[in-house]
Structure formats: structure tokens, C-alpha cells
Amino acid sequence: MGALYRYDEFDHAFVNARVAEFRDQVQRRIKGDITEEEFKSLRLMNGVYLQLHAYMLRIAVPYGTLSSKQLRTLATIGRRWDRHYGHFTTRQNLQFNWIALKDVPDVLQALADVEMHAIQTSGNCMRNVTADHFAGAAADEVADPRVYAEIMRQWSTAHPELSYLPRKFKVAITGAEEDRAAVKVHDIGYQIVRNEAGEIGFRVFVGGGQGRTPMVGKALRDFLPEADLLTYTEAIMRVYNLEGRRDNKYKARIKILVHEKGLDSIREEVEAEFERIRDGALKLTPDSVAAMQQYFVAGPFETIGQTPVFDKAKAKDADFAHWVSVNVHAHKQPGYGIATISLKPIGGIPGDASSDQMDLVADLADRYSLGEIRISHLQNLVLPHVKLDDLPALFAALQDAGLATANEGLITDIIACPGLDYCSLANARAIPIAQGLSERFGSPARQAEIGSLPIKISGCINACGHHHVAAIGILGVDRKGVENYQITLGGSAREDCSIGELVGPGFGADGIVDAVEKVVDTYLGLRLSPQETFLEAVRRVGLPPFKEALYGQRA
């Protein structure tokens, strides 16, 4: 079977107690015994938001790992209590946008029955700890980051010192040199590394984030020993809790503290606190890490030499060969691959999956991927352990379900937040813009010509669509009651992390797709070769050619 953490007695008791507690709170709200204002903090502690049209429930998927049983439960929730679909987010969570308040306790109980919850998916606490969606499978992995993400989840859940922080706090962990978890745009990012002695440890980044003031995280430590992970994190959190701004929510994130005090000053304070507590109860022992690692041992894998079915299918079926070249990645086990299931069909809504599709993916995971599914922060699903010879059958099943779009990392693999179609904070719609761009660039030949070009769209400055770190970022703003879309170029969420630069004045909803096409055509005209990516070209030539294409001589 797949590699998943299983709840212990404490986990079960804790989550079930929270469900019972919230059931009572919901009943009191419905009866009118408490006001919406009094209820707000209680519902947010359980992942319940009040959106434009209805309540929204945000469900935690720790480090993006799901079992087939858990995914089937999510499908059932969508079918029974929502509108037959869910929305996978950039935080490896799932959101249901049409949940009735009276049904939320039953939904939470259904989640608890399969070892899931919605705790700490909102509020000024440590949110869902995210990780590389290829964790435990990637050929380039130093170590499985989910081991440490689960250790951190257990430590941080309902931690009294982490429950009322100055602002929400996000942590990501990647297990490879290639950053697939966007660790440099998190409050704390951990990259697993080995030192010269071959020992496991972490490179620590602090002060990254997007939103109103986007910043790239700074290296706080080049090597933190494995044993000190929780102790060092607690030291950072204590400094932040003590000094983080509570008078201004726009300046309350740790990135502002790092910026205002300076990295060296923050490092000095963190290291002093770390020295004071480093030999305390939070120190990880080899036995405790080894015990957790046992939960994340996938398999058993078969010993595979030849892959005749896979090789024959690639030679005979051009569509299959193309899908493999785009959506399948190298696995650490010979004869296996990591298959991405795109939730970005041409003209579709990024990140949405119907209940029927969730059920199908759960079935395919049981059949082909040891019962295991991943959610990527790019709003796609992943089957992490597929035999190469099973890929043709998997592809055929995905084709039948409309889930075989071969566009991972290409221009139509667009990240988009729910925007003004759902979110009460949004200033502009994001979904229709994503659909328009997807349709404009939907031709497989056009996508292949363009190559790697991530587009990310946010409907407001909070940047849930990660537009700051997109090769082409789009931010929707309100200009005197009219939707206006600004373009940024040159961002990246990877190991070469950078914040995109604003090109110039924005465009209306009826002009933004044309504007992006001008940007893309300009790139195709100036790149040195088809191998030079859009991001590389922007970094080489800067913004002037794109400004001229968009605005003419007034640029």
C-alpha cells in the first residue's frame, strides 16, 4: 500500500472532540444564541469561511498526501453536501464552496472517520505544512520531506504559542535541490540537504511571502542538524511572536520583521533563543525520526528490468508519447514513473475536480499507484508510484474521463484563485481569464512551440494565485468599479525564486488575453533558440521589448 501516516489514539480523540465541540457551536449559532461576529472566530478555527454566496469549508491535506479512501470521502462530501465538485488550492488543501452551515459538523465527522480535518486552515496560526508533491518518489530526492512535515504537524497542532500569532504562518519543506514546494515564498522554508559528513539536515529560509508586499525568503542557516528541526522552528516562532507587528495586519508577517530589523539581527536573536532551548524536550532522536519514517515507506516495489508495454505504446501512440514527455517524471525506483493528472483541461476551471473524477482517480490510485494520491501546490493531482508498463492503461482511463491533458508546466497549466466568482476579498474575477487564456493557447502545437511558461492569476492583492512568482503574473484590481488586470513578468517560485516586475498599466477583462498573447509573441520573436525559456529570455533582455509590444512608443 501507499505511504501514509495513520492516526494514533491521541489524534483520533483530539479530532473527534473538536468535531463535537464545533457541532455544539453551530447549533448555538443557528438558534441565534450567538451572533455571527461571536461565531466568526469559532468557525475559522475549524476552516469555515463566509464567502460571497455561501459558507466555504477548507479541508487540510497535510503535505498534500491522500489515500484512495480519503479521496473517495472527499468525493462523497462533494456529492452529498456540495455541488458535486471541490477546488484544490495552492496550499495543498481542498475547498468546498457551497456547504450549508448546518451540515458542516456532519462533514467534519465524515472527515474524522478517515483521519482528516479542517483544523488550522484559517486564522493566525501555523497553517497546513506543505511539501514537494513528488515526496517519497522523486529520483532526485535527498530524503522524504513528509516525515518532517508530519513531525511538524503534530508539534504545531493546537500549540498554545502558535495559536494566536501576529498573523497566519506558512511553512513548506522540500526534499531535493530542485524546489517543487516554493519554499522561498513561505514564512519559513526548509530544504533537506546533506553536509560534508553525509548527515541529513536543513537549509533554512525565513521571511518569504507574497501578498501586498512580496519578498523572497532569506537564508537564515545553511545547515541545521536534523535533531534540531523543532527546536529551531520554535526559536524562530518565539522571536516572531514577541516582535511581530500586532498593530497593523499588513505589516504583521515575519517577512516585514526580517526586512525592518535585518537578517543579521533576526539571526542573532533566533540563534540566542535556540542556544537557550536546544537541549530541551523538542530535540529529535534518531529513534523518533526512524519511527516516523516507517509510516512513509512505500511499496513493496517490484524489480523491473524491461518495460515492453510502455516502450511499444510510446512508439505507436503519439498522444501517449506526448503525455508521457510532459506529465510523467522520473521515479527513484527503476521501472516506475510519477504521473501528473492535470486539473487544467482546455477552457476548464483550474483546480476543480468533480466528485465523479475524484472517485475515478481514487480507483486508478488503487489500481496503479499503491492507493496513494498527491495534491500539488500547482493545483494538479499526482499518482506517485506507477509502473511504466501500466502507464498506457492509466492514460486510456484518463482520456475517457477528460483528465489526460498533457500540459504540466506549459502555458495552459494555469494557477488561478477562485476570485470574484466566490471570494469576498477579491476585486476581480480570475477564473474567466484563466479559461480565456487556456482556450487561446490550447493548441498542443502552440503549447509545444512556447515551451515552459507558468501563468498565475490572482483576483486581489492577497496573491492566493501566486501571481508574483509567475513567469507571467496577472493581478486583478478594481479601477472605479471596473475589473483591471496588471501584468508582471519574470517571477519564479523555484530554486531561482524571483518576484515578477510590473510591466505597466493594466488591461480590461476584454483585453487581457490579447495582451498576454502579445507578450508571448514578443518572446517567440526574441528568444535565442527554442531551448531558451520565457523566464530566461525575460532575464536576459528585461522588460523594454515587452513594454513596447504592449504600449507602443509611450512605453
Q: Which of 208, 174, 177 is nearest to 190 (CA)?
A: 174
Is residue 119 situated within a structural domain? no
- Same-domain pairing of 46 and 101: yes
**pLDDT at site 72:** 98
Q: Are residues 196 and 262 in the same domain?
A: yes
Same-domain check for residues 57 and 202: no
Distances (CA, A) of 132 to 155, 181, 229, 362, 441: 20, 5, 18, 20, 28
Q: What is 56-93 written as a DSSP string? A: EEEEB-GGGEEEHHHHHHHHHHHHHHSSSEEEE-TTS-
Question: Do residues 143 and 229 both lie within one domain?
Answer: yes
Per the domain annotation, does 496 fall within a domain?
Answer: yes
| Of the residues 345, 379, 401, the one at which a domain ends | 401
Same domain, 249 and 330: no
pLDDT of residue 555: 47
Distances (CA, A) of 482 to 77, 151, 357, 416, 509: 36, 47, 36, 19, 9
Residue 359: domain span: 308-401
User: Which phi and psi (to 5°) does residue 135 adopt?
Assistant: -55, 140
Q: At what angle do helices 254-261 and 229-243 cross, to 10 degrees?
A: 80
Question: Does 262 lie in the same domain as 143?
Answer: yes
Does 210 reside within a domain?
yes
Residues 186 and 224 grouped into a single domain: yes
371, 471: one domain: no
* CATH number for 20: 3.90.480.20
CA 107 – CA 129 distance, rounded (Å): 22
Report the pLDDT value the prediction gives residue 3, as an integer from 0 to 100: 74
- 171 and 277 in a single domain? The answer is yes
Residues 382 and 494 occupy one common structural domain: no
Count of domains forming the chain: 4
Cell representation of residue 27: 447549533
Edge-first strand order for the sheet with 328-330 is 65-67, 372-375, 381-387, 336-341, 328-330
- Residue labelled with grid coordinates 542556544: 275
Supply the CATH number for residue 252's domain.
Answer: 3.30.413.10
Do the domain assignments include residue 57? yes
Q: Cell 488575453 sits at which residue?
A: 513
- Kindly state whether residues 431 and 523 are assigned to the same domain: yes
- Domain co-membership, 13 together with 67: yes
* Within-domain flag for 338: yes
Short-list 417, 405, 430, CA closest to 344 = 405
Q: Tell me whether residue 50 is in a domain.
A: yes
Domain boundary, last residue among 293, 323, 340: 293
Cis peptide before 300 (omega within 30 of 0): yes
User: Which residue, 247, 269, 293, sits at the end of a domain?
Assistant: 293
Does residue 299 fall inside a structural domain? no
Asked if 476 and 426 touch (Cβ cutoff 8 Å), the reply is: yes
CA distances from 342 to 250, 351, 391 (A): 34, 9, 15
Residue spans of the chain under pLDDT 50: 555
Q: Is residue 122 part of a domain?
A: no
Percentages (nearest 5) of helix, strand, coil residues in the chain: 45, 20, 35
